């Protein structure tokens, strides 16, 4: 299958950069940059408590807004159960993260350029039978170390926290975690449970992005998390 045969899903921060929603993502990016004052935020994981809360949409748009700052960015689709990055950017998913973590390919062989200048994508690759074990392996540590050396910002998409243990495994390896909550469908108790699960593995939660708010110019709303 050629790239021209792949369906590309629009990312609003790229397709309509002057829209209020795009501006909301840029505001989210700025707020995250302020979270770097005490500790660099080079590896950022984005997740949610449950499915359909907008975590993948949020991370795709964040990746674009970071790339628009003329920085070297890579988006890693570590959702090895329900990956979406290859659909969004119209990329082949025949090879990807699962191949690197299982020793079937080198990292340089599977990183793909997106249509966004400065933004590379590491798609998930074929869904493996043991995602949690692969994400918790020494190969994952090696991979993240190499990405730190090659990119200014590494954004990692994972499955929802309460669905499987994958997010907790990855969170402990990142500089920070952004938790996305859907204001319309997300439940407060689920968000609190997800926060507690992340803190259990000593993840650094840098904030919560409240998605689908009722505001006139609805977009992702960011707030700092009280970690005291």
Average pLDDT over residues 204-222: 68
pLDDT band at 137 (very low <50, low <70, confident <90, very high): very high
- If pLDDT is split at 50, 70 and 90, which confidence band does 38 have? confident
Phi, psi of 154 (to 5 degrees): -120, 115
State the architecture of 56-212 in CATH terms: 3-Layer(aba) Sandwich (3.40)
Q: Count Cβ atoms below 10 Å from residue 59 Cβ, excluding itself.
A: 28
Q: 155-178 burial, b for 16+ CB within 10 Å, e for fewer?
A: bbbbbbbbbbebbbbbbbbbbbbb
pLDDT tens digit sequence for 101-116: 999 999 999 999 999 9
Higher pLDDT, 208 or 119: 119
Tens digits of residue pLDDT in 39-48: 789 999 999 9
In this prediction, residues 107-132 reach a mean pLDDT of 96
- Confidence band (pLDDT; 50, 70, 90) for 1? very low
Distance CA 165, CA 68 (A): 33
Rounded mean pLDDT of the chain?
88
pTM of this prediction exceeds 0.85? yes
pLDDT band at 213 (very low <50, low <70, confident <90, very high): low
Mean pLDDT of 75-92: 95
User: What residue spans define the domains of the chain?
Assistant: 56-212
**pLDDT value, residue 222:** 47
- Of 73-82, 99-108, 177-186, 202-211, the one with minimum mean pLDDT is 177-186
DSSP strand pairing (112-113 vs 119-122): antiparallel
Residue 35 has pLDDT above 90, yes or no: no
């Amino acid at each position: 299958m050629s790239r021209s045969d792949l369906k590309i899903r629009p990312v609003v921060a790229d397709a309509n950069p002057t829209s209020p929603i795009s501006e909301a993502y840029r505001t989210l990016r700025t707020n995250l940059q302020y979270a770097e004052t005490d500790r660099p935020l080079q590896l950022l994981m984005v997740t949610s408590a449950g499915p359909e809360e907008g975590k993948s949409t949020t991370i795709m748009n964040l990746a674009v807004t970071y790339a628009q700052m003329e920085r070297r960015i890579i988006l890693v689709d570590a959702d090895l159960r329900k990956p979406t990055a290859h659909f969004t950017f119209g990329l082949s998913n025949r090879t990807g993260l699962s191949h690197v973590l299982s020793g079937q390919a080198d990292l340089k062989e599977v990183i793909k350029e997106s249509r966004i200048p400065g933004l590379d994508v590491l798609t998930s690759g074929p869904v493996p039978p043991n995602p949690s074990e692969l994400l918790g392996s020494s190969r994952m540590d090696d991979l993240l170390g190499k990405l730190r050396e090659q990119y200014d910002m590494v954004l990692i998409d994972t499955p929802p926290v309460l669905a499987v243990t994958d997010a907790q495994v990855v969170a402990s390896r990142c500089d920070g975690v952004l938790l996305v909550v859907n204001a319309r469908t997300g439940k407060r108790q689920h968000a609190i449970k997800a926060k507690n699960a992340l803190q259990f593995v000593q993840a650094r939660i840098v904030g919560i992005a409240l998605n689908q708010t009722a505001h006139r110019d609805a977009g992702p709303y960011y707030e700092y998390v009280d970690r005291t």
